[in-house]
Structure 1
Amino acid sequence: MPTVGLIGTRGLPNTHGGFERFIELLVQDDRWAATDIRFVVYGEGEEGPYNAWTSQRNLGFTKDSRKLGFYFRSAMLATKECDIVLCCSVPLSIFSYWPRLHGKPLIMNPDGCEWRRTKWSAAGRLAIAAMYVPAMAAAHRVVIDAEALREDFHLGKKAVYIPYSAPEPIVHPLRQTTRERLGIDRPYMLLIARLEPENNVALAVKAFHALGDRGVDLIVVGNTGTRHYKDDLATMDGGPIRFVGGVYNQPMLDELRSGCVAYFHGHSVGGTNPSLLEALSAVTGVILCHDNKYNREVAGEHAEYYSTPATLSDRMADLVLNLPSAGQARQPERDARFHPATIFTRYLELFREVLKRR
């Protein structure tokens, strides 16, 4: 049976979002049971079976303790033990040639333009950009999760478009237990993101802060351990602006999305963000996205767009004045591009293709 080694993530269960959410969605699809494809996830997860077609391999140390070692060891093991290596992100860099040198296909998923993230220093962004060069060159195929990334990476036919899958569109009633746990007792707007500069959290929080307390809260979901939170956001945490920390309970996140009067999505460095897909499938209020090519490709006419604090603050003020209609602005939906069956088929075809090219 062909085995795909998934490297570059911390493993399962997903407690970080991002690529951990990606592999969670990939391997939990029951359709894999009817194929001969099997997965091995290399990371920090518990060693042994995860489901009938997926197992986990614990590397013996954490990603945070030895980042480069984490990628290299996982690449060595996956090359030795698997038929295909699928690498999430590019820190493998020059070691991306390891699978190719041993006759194993390498699929690279770079997850957008990491070198544009302003949380890194100028030197750090330059170093990250340099990592992309050997990683992209060594890969047999590069998965891009947004068509807009083609012009960023200039990969030609090597690039294959496979976005993330979106959940079934459902309205999730906000349970009393969720209200009590998060202290929700009045209408709220919602922002879910990693608290990093490129996600434009500060833009939304400052715009809301300028309104004062008008009987509506802004709930911000995201790990508050980041430098950006401590340096730029913590002083605004309080009153109607409530940073509640990271939430990785998916049903609770779905309830929060369905119950909000407005949802803010500020991601700006591409490509398709799973959080936006989940919002489109659950939010019944207004979806407000940072105006960039990636968000417009995903959400299209199903969202409104902002680029400055002034325009966002004006729209927030209007929403506060029209809460009943704001909370019933749309029906959750899922574009066919992001249907799990579509994503499954494209990955199955990709795995079959690279196996033939060995």
Structure 2
Amino acid sequence: MKVAILGTRGIPNYYGGFEQFAEYFSVYLAKKGHEVYVYNSHNHPYQEKMFNGVHILHQYDPEYKVGTFGQFIYDLNCIRDIRKRDFDIILQLGYTSSSIWYFLLPKSAIVITNMDGLEWKRSKYSAPVRRFLKYAERLAAMHSDYLVADSLGIQAFLKEEYKKESTYIAYGAHPFYSPDESVLAEYDVEKENFNMIMARFEPENNLDMVLTGVTEGNDTTPILVVGKHETKYGAYLKEKFKNHPNIRFIGGLYNIDHLNSLRYYSKIYFHGHSVGGTNPSLLEAMASHALIAAHNNHFNKGVLQDNAYYFANPKEVASLLATLRKSEEQQKIEKNFKAIEKNFNWEKINGDYLQLFEQCLIKKNRAFSG
């Protein structure tokens, strides 16, 4: 197969979840003997033309000059290049800035779109932007040949909202086997005597709810708040909780070994995300043997099922802080870890995507020959 992957800033990953998946999956396809091309921003740190058997196609990306609008130009440049190359399959990761150019995608290629989360629900966007994102979602849902949902909640939404079937393929994580207890001293915490929450500083990730639960329950256990807090919302939270020294805003943490060890040794790992599909940080927490308390919504429950505790308000957070003991919850922790090994491992996910590609090509060839 000749495959194009677009919708990311490029590989190797320096940015986020879709870039990580694009890196893993493209290399996997190349090792299987397929001809794979990944589109990269022109100013991506990696400037070579090949990466582990994958062709890299750099395209001009003016986002650094003009902000978010530059993403639309970048996607347009990628799609204009796609038209020259006779791909069998185009895998589109997300739809935010690419779906408006759907009419330019070559009709000869099979277009498969991973629909990401419900971007138009994110409160950080203004009302006009949210209306546009809903419009872009509809374009992608209605004009792609096949859809991928990375959570059962997204799959149900696509069926209800657009009457469109999709293939459920989750995100992945690497099982974490080697915790390093010496890391704890760097963050001034003790084994199973601190809690954690990790998220982008956005209202729908419910940092405020969790931290309010900490204060209302008078819980003095240290809680590490991981994420870039140099934002307007971050300033609001730091001001609100400035008189609670156990609430520690430690900023973004990009040393994955440190992060996994902290999750492993934490007492409770809070996951407040309420919008979107399968969140990578949630899977990483499962893979790190964390005891998870998650916001009560169908996205989180679709992944964690009965192997976590759930909260919907500060009072419930306070109750969990008062009652949960990690030593008594090893069965839930182990079931989550086994789910990573069995259902959310990268080898399985890569294989599921490849199987989908093969099935799509078979259907196309049958239709053509028929």
TM norm structure 2 = 0.84
Question: Of residues 81, 105, 109 in structure 2, which corresponds to 1:77?
Answer: 81
Q: Which residue of 1 aligns with 2:131?
A: 126
Q: Gaps spanning 5+ residues in structure 2: where?
A: 366-370
Residue deviations 1:61-98, cap 9 Å, x none? 35453121122112222343461222222121220222
| Inter-CA distance 27–36: structure 2 relative to 1 (3 Å threshold) | closer
Q: May I ask how many residue pairs the two structures share in their alignment?
A: 349
> What fraction of aligned residue pairs are identical, expressed as a percent?
28
Q: Which amino acid aligns with 2:257?
A: P
1:114 CA drift (Å): 0.7
- Contact 1:306/1:312, CA 8 A, preserved across alignment: yes
Secondary structure, aligned partner of 1:150: helix
Secondary structure, aligned partner of 2:278: coil
Secondary structure, aligned partner of 1:302: coil
Choose 106-115 or 338-347, whichever is displaced more: 338-347
- Contact 1:8/1:42, CA 8 A, preserved across alignment: no
Residue deviations 1:150-177, cap 9 Å, x none? 3312355641111112322x4432342x
Q: Which residue of 2 aligns with 1:189?
A: 195
Q: Which residue of 2 aligns with 1:250?
A: 256
Secondary structure, aligned partner of 1:57: strand
Query: Are positions 1:161 and 2:159 aligned together?
Result: no
Secondary structure, aligned partner of 1:11: coil
Residue deviations 1:300-321, cap 9 Å, x none? 11111111111111211234xx
| Inter-CA distance 230–167: structure 2 relative to 1 (3 Å threshold) | same
Equivalent-residue separation in structure 1 for 2:82 and 2:250 (angstroms): 38
CA RMSD of aligned residues (A): 2.7
1:195 CA drift (Å): 1.5
| Inter-CA distance 13–192: structure 2 relative to 1 (3 Å threshold) | farther
Q: Which residue of 2 aligns with 1:6?
A: 5
1:107 CA drift (Å): 1.4
Equivalent-residue separation in structure 2 for 1:42 and 1:18 (angstroms): 15
Moved segments of 4+, more than 6 Å: 326-329
Q: Which amino acid aligns with 1:40?
A: V
Query: Are positions 1:57 and 2:61 aligned together?
Result: no
1:323 CA drift (Å): 6.8
1:182 CA drift (Å): 3.4
- Contact 1:171/1:258, CA 8 A, preserved across alignment: no
Equivalent-residue separation in structure 2 for 1:50 and 1:195 (angstroms): 35
Residue deviations 1:239-298, cap 9 Å, x none? 2111222222322221121111111111112321121111111124x2101111111111
Equivalent-residue separation in structure 1 for 2:288 and 2:235 (angstroms): 30
- Contact 1:199/1:268, CA 8 A, preserved across alignment: yes
TM norm structure 1 = 0.87
Question: Of residues 24, 33, 36 in structure 2, which corresponds to 1:35?
Answer: 33
Q: Gaps spanning 5+ residues in structure 1: where?
A: none
